[in-house]
Amino acid sequence: MKHIGISLLIGAFSLMTLLPSCKEERGPLKRIWYDGSYNRDFNDMNDVQLAMAKKIGIQPATTREEAEEALHKMEKVETNEYYEVEELTHSIPYLIPSAAELLEDIGRNFQDTLRHRNASLYKIKVTSVTRTIDDVKKLRKRNTNSSKNSTHQYGTTFDISWVRYTKVDESDTLNIDKDRLKMVLAMVLRDLKRDDRCYVKHERRQGCFHVTVRE
């Protein structure tokens, strides 16, 4: 009888493993809407962000070689489940720990908000991180709107695109357009601003949110 019981258990287990798993059905997509103004809600100017960056950030490095000396005080930011780091041409993928934590929280909260609205999941895209003084000079030759006194030099600041996103599951047939994804990102950033976690500037020409961590 004992052997029969064991055989029945093994048979039942085998049957369960052969049956297709039941995927939880997603409910109908809830309305995505941002009830604010991007320019008004995210208007923390450079002087405000720069004062915080100088207070809590690293000493700006002139060259990439010099920046190597400060890396032990920083954390490398790499593409993960919450965000994607685009190819960086004028910055290096390092932030001070509190800024790296903020970036991950933004990506996580972004996906949580999408999930709560029964939307498909996307990753935010990081377009710029920490720059050396040389990086800033080179960038200013191409982009006259970039600031000479850039907060990016202090390891406290990063840019998140509000134009481009990466879909997590390409087999998911539900697509969310970039305008609604921008609304979700704005919701997340506004909440973090209200919690005094960051300063944010809506950059229209650059198509990004310019974010500096707060102390």
User: What SS3 class is residue 24?
Assistant: coil
Total structural domains within the chain? 1
Tell me if the pTM is above 0.85: yes
> Looking at residue 140, what is its pLDDT?
75
Closest alpha carbon to 151 in 79, 85, 99: 99
The CATH number of whichever domain residue 154 belongs to comes to: 3.30.1380
The one-digit pLDDT tens for each residue of the chain (215 residues) are: 444 444 444 444 444 444 444 456 889 999 999 999 999 999 999 999 999 999 999 999 999 999 998 899 999 999 999 999 999 999 999 999 999 999 999 999 999 999 999 999 999 999 999 999 999 998 877 665 556 789 999 999 999 999 999 999 999 999 999 999 999 999 999 999 999 999 999 999 999 999 999 99
User: What SS3 class is residue 94?
Assistant: strand
Closest alpha carbon to 145 in 207, 78, 53, 54: 207
Give the CA diameter of the chain.
84
> Looking at residue 129, what is its pLDDT?
98
> Looking at residue 134, what is its pLDDT?
94
> Looking at residue 147, what is its pLDDT?
65
21 within a domain of the structure (yes/no):
no
112 within a domain of the structure (yes/no):
yes
> Looking at residue 149, what is its pLDDT?
87
179 within a domain of the structure (yes/no):
yes
User: What SS3 class is residue 53?
Assistant: helix
22 within a domain of the structure (yes/no):
no
Q: How far is residue 92's CA from residue 107's CA, in Å, rounded to a whole number?
A: 19
15 within a domain of the structure (yes/no):
no
96 within a domain of the structure (yes/no):
yes
> Looking at residue 139, what is its pLDDT?
86
121 within a domain of the structure (yes/no):
yes
Residue identified by tokens 């690293």 is 58
Distance of CA 150 to CAs 32, 134, 162, Å? 34, 12, 20
The domain in which residue 132 lies consists of 28-213
- For 58, the enclosing helix (H) or strand (E) is none
Q: How far is residue 62's CA from residue 135's CA, in Å, rounded to a whole number?
A: 8
> Looking at residue 9, what is its pLDDT?
43
> Looking at residue 11, what is its pLDDT?
47
Q: How far is residue 60's CA from residue 199's CA, in Å, rounded to a whole number?
A: 20
> Looking at residue 112, what is its pLDDT?
98
8 within a domain of the structure (yes/no):
no
In one-letter notation, the amino acid at residue 172 is: D
Q: Helices (H) and strands (E) in the chain — how many of each? A: 7, 8
Structure tokens given for 182: 């921008």
